[in-house]
């Protein structure tokens, strides 16, 4: 039990309670932290301004003499927890003090709980940074504070480039790992006065009160450099990322409120994105740009007379762009075949089998196309593997096997920023996973493996078994089918094996 304080107008503490109480004055009360305080009723007339609520963290008991006939009225008037009569015995007083002490403990626990709940309201628990609610609640006061001190508030907004593709390609676990690592990089770059605020899923704002525009620019440049140089490794996956950044300063950009700041941040970030990402835009540079009042309309636009013709034009241009991208990437796939003549025509054979299985499964035309593209490009990552390993005769050693295992994510990395091939990437990344969970790169099991990857996996193995390789002769069709049957439910999805076997017979 903590020391109990006693405030009295008399010169002494009641003799029966000397061992319990320590006499103090009202003036000293504010200097003493959480404690149990007993106040003599006769002191209250000298301190009419006294209120229990003015002393948070303390619990008060009222000490009254035997002539006081209205203890409850007095207690409620000033907000005391309980009262102690002069004639009460030592043990009666002790019981009341213990109750008050328990109440004080409960009060402390409630205070801690309230602080924790308040922190949940403004904190991103996963990343241990502030959320947008914190920004909304504090931006106005921050602006006022920097104005009073004749300074300015700088803000740096940054967004992970192509984050949606990373999420869709590698899954939410890898995506969350990247976000956490990025926040840690930022945390190590900034000072305690700067605050990290999560704006959207992969967008953040650094609040830097009392920092100039030049100082904010240096932070942004260091951040961009650190993230560009960092390799993000998770299990057997690895990638590099970039960030787009925008910088605003309340003084230089003449910003006065929440709305103006948000618009400026969004405009600066959008410009960095439009210019290709992985770059920094100062909002003040955008303000300097002057647009011509009458911009010339291209001839193509003049020919567009209605919404439908515009749609047709967009579809045509989109097909042209996608086809050019596909032609380029398929060219890389062919380059791998030329590098390894033993696999010539392998990808076409894999693609035909995979496409047929996808059709037999009743997949949509778009899903069938995704499977077909994935089958064509499933070994694209081997372009990053040394020919000495690819063309080696005989068994690979452990180190060489680990190098070969990197080709799925190399392929996924090459393709992940190509919108037209986004649906094919899961199969490219996971076509070496096995139904029983013994595959790579993540050791996915059963239906955790994307359906397209399960299809390409079987097609790839069958085509490989029936092809000649540097280290072995081609298996017969009968032997290859026997191996596929043996691996049903181990390496391959049983349902896909059944469809494949039915298809082969036909």
Q: What is the pLDDT of residues 377-388, one digit of tens each?
A: 888 888 788 888
Share of the chain above pLDDT 70, in %: 83
Q: Which of 76-85, 294-303, 354-363 has the highest mean pLDDT?
A: 354-363
Is 424:370 a contact under the CB 8 Å cutoff? yes
Q: What is the pLDDT of residue 293?
A: 39
Nearest to 134 by CA among 201, 188, 207, 187: 207
d(CA 67, CA 62): 14
Q: Calculate mean pLDDT across residues 203-232.
A: 94
- Tens digits of residue pLDDT in 5-18: 888 766 555 555 55
Q: Calculate mean pLDDT across residues 74-84.
A: 83
Contacts of 375 by beta carbon, 8 Å cutoff, 6+ apart: 347, 350, 351, 353, 354, 355, 427, 456, 459, 460
Cβ neighbours, 10 Å, residue 231: 8
d(CA 345, CA 333): 11
- Tens digits of residue pLDDT in 40-67: 887 887 777 777 878 877 888 888 877 7
Instruction: Determine the distance from the C-alpha atom of residue 421 to the mean position of all C-alpha atoms in its chain, rounded to a whole number.
Output: 25
Residue 238 corresponds to which tokens in the numbers above?
Answer: 């690895």
Q: What is the pLDDT of residue 217?
A: 95
Q: Calculate mean pLDDT across residues 398-418.
A: 85
CATH topology of domain 4-121: Rossmann fold (3.40.50)
Backbone conformation region of residue 60, classed left if phi is above 0, alpha if psi is from -120 to 50, else beta: beta
- Tens digits of residue pLDDT in 436-464: 999 999 899 999 999 999 999 999 999 98
Cis ω before 441 (30° cut-off from 0): yes
Q: What is the pLDDT of residue 316?
A: 54
CA 230, 233, 238, 241 torsion-angle sign: negative
Report pTM.
0.54
Which sequence spans correspond to the domains of the chain? 4-121, 126-288, 309-505
Mean pLDDT of the chain: 82
Phi, psi for residue 238 in degrees, rounded to 5: -150, 140
- Give the lowest-confidence range in 168-172, 285-289, 363-367, 496-500: 168-172
Decide the pairing of beta strands 195-198 and 59-64: unpaired
Is 62:41 a contact under the CB 8 Å cutoff? yes
Is 249:219 a contact under the CB 8 Å cutoff? no
Please, which pLDDT band fits residue 290 given cuts at 50, 70 and 90? very low
Please, which pLDDT band fits residue 315 given cuts at 50, 70 and 90? low
Say if residue 182's pLDDT is above 80: yes
Q: Calculate mean pLDDT across residues 420-428.
A: 87
Q: What is the CATH number of domain 309-505?
A: 1.10.3210.10
CA 41, 47, 51, 54 torsion-angle sign: negative
Domain 126-288 has CATH 3.30.420.40: no
Please, which pLDDT band fits residue 71 given cuts at 50, 70 and 90? confident
d(CA 324, CA 320): 6
Q: Calculate mean pLDDT across residues 329-335.
A: 57
Contacts of 165 by beta carbon, 8 Å cutoff, 6+ apart: 416, 417, 422, 425
Kindly state the helix (H) or strand (E) to which residue 309 belongs, with its residue range.
helix 307-339
pLDDT higher for 273 or 74? 273
Phi, psi for residue 177 in degrees, rounded to 5: -60, -45
Decide the pairing of beta strands 195-198 and 203-209: antiparallel
Instruction: Determine the distance from the C-alpha atom of residue 105 to the mean position of all C-alpha atoms in its chain, rounded to a whole number.
Output: 38
- Tens digits of residue pLDDT in 297-314: 344 444 444 555 545 555
Q: Calculate mean pLDDT across residues 108-117.
A: 77
Nearest to 357 by CA among 258, 484, 497: 497
Is 437:444 a contact under the CB 8 Å cutoff? yes
List alpha helices for 190-306, DSSP H: 213-229, 258-274, 283-288, 299-302
d(CA 80, CA 59): 8
Q: Please report where in the chains the tokens 């996963």 appear, as a residue.
A: 126
List alpha helices for 191-248, DSSP H: 213-229
> Where do the DSSP E strands lie in 95-187?
123-124, 129-130, 153-160
- Tens digits of residue pLDDT in 231-274: 898 887 788 889 999 999 999 999 988 889 998 999 999 899 88
pLDDT higher for 429 or 166? 429
Is 189:262 a contact under the CB 8 Å cutoff? no
Phi, psi for residue 159 in degrees, rounded to 5: -140, 135
Nearest to 358 by CA among 456, 218, 291, 278: 456
Q: What is the pLDDT of residue 243?
A: 94
| 503: three-class secondary structure by DSSP | helix
Is 376:427 a contact under the CB 8 Å cutoff? no
DSSP 382-435: GGGS-HHHHT-SS---HHHHHHHTTHHHHHHHHHTT-GGGGGGHHHHHHTT--T
Q: What is the pLDDT of residue 298?
A: 43
Within 13 Å of residue 149, how many CA atoms lie on the same side as its CB? 11
């Amino acid at each position: 039990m903590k020391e109990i304080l006693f405030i009295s107008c008399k010169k002494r503490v009641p003799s029966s309670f000397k061992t319990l109480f320590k006499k103090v004055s009202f003036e000293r009360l504010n200097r003493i932290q959480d404690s149990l305080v007993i106040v003599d009723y006769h002191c209250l007339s000298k301190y009419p301004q006294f209120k229990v609520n003015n002393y948070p963290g303390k619990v008060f008991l009222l000490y009254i003499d035997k002539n006081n006939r209205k203890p409850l009225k007095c207690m409620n008037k000033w907000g005391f927890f309980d009262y102690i009569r002069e004639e009460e015995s030592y043990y009666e007083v002790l019981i009341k003090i213990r109750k008050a002490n328990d109440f004080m403990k409960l009060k402390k626990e409630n205070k801690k709980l309230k602080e924790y709940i308040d922190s949940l309201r403004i904190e991103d628990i996963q990343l241990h940074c502030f959320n947008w609610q914190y920004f909304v609640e504090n931006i106005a006061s921050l602006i006022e504070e920097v104005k009073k001190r004749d300074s300015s508030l700088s803000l740096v907004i940054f967004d992970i480039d192509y984050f949606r593709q990373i999420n869709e390609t590698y899954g939410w676990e890898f995506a969350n790992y990247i976000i956490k690592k990025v926040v840690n990089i930022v945390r190590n770059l900034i000072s305690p006065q700067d605050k990290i605020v999560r704006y959207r899923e992969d967008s953040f704002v650094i609040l830097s009160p009392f920092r100039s525009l030049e100082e904010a620019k240096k932070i942004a440049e260091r951040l961009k450099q650190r993230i560009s140089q960092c390799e993000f490794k998770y299990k057997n996956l690895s990638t590099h990322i970039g960030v787009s950044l925008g910088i605003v300063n309340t003084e230089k950009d003449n910003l006065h409120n929440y709305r103006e700041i948000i618009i400026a941040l969004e405009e600066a970030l959008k410009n960095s994105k439009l210019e290709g990402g992985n770059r920094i835009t100062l909002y003040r540079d955008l303000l300097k740009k002057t647009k011509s009042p009458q911009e010339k309309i291209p001839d193509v636009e003049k020919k567009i007379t209605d919404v439908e013709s515009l749609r047709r034009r967009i579809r045509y241009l989109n097909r042209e762009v996608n086809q050019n991208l596909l032609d380029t990437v398929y060219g890389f796939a062919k380059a791998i075949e030329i590098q390894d003549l033993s696999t010539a025509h392998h990808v076409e054979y894999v693609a035909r089998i995979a496409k047929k299985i996808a059709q037999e499964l009743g997949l949509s035309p778009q899903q069938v196309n995704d499977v077909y593209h994935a089958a064509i490009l499933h070994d694209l990552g081997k372009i990053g593997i040394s020919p000495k390993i690819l063309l080696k005769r005989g068994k690979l050693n452990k180190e060489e096997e680990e190098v070969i295992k990197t080709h799925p994510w190399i392929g996924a990395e090459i393709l992940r920023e190509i919108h037209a091939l986004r649906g094919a990437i899961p199969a490219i990344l996971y076509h070496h996973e096995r139904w029983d969970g013994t595959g790579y790169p993540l050791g996915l099991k059963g239906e955790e493996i994307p359906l397209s990857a399960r299809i390409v996996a079987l097609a790839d193995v069958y085509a490989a078994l029936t092809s000649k390789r540097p280290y072995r002769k081609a298996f017969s069709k009968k032997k290859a089918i026997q191996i596929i049957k043996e691996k049903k439910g181990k390496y391959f999805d049983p349902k896909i094996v059944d469809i494949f076997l039915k298809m082969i017979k036909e």
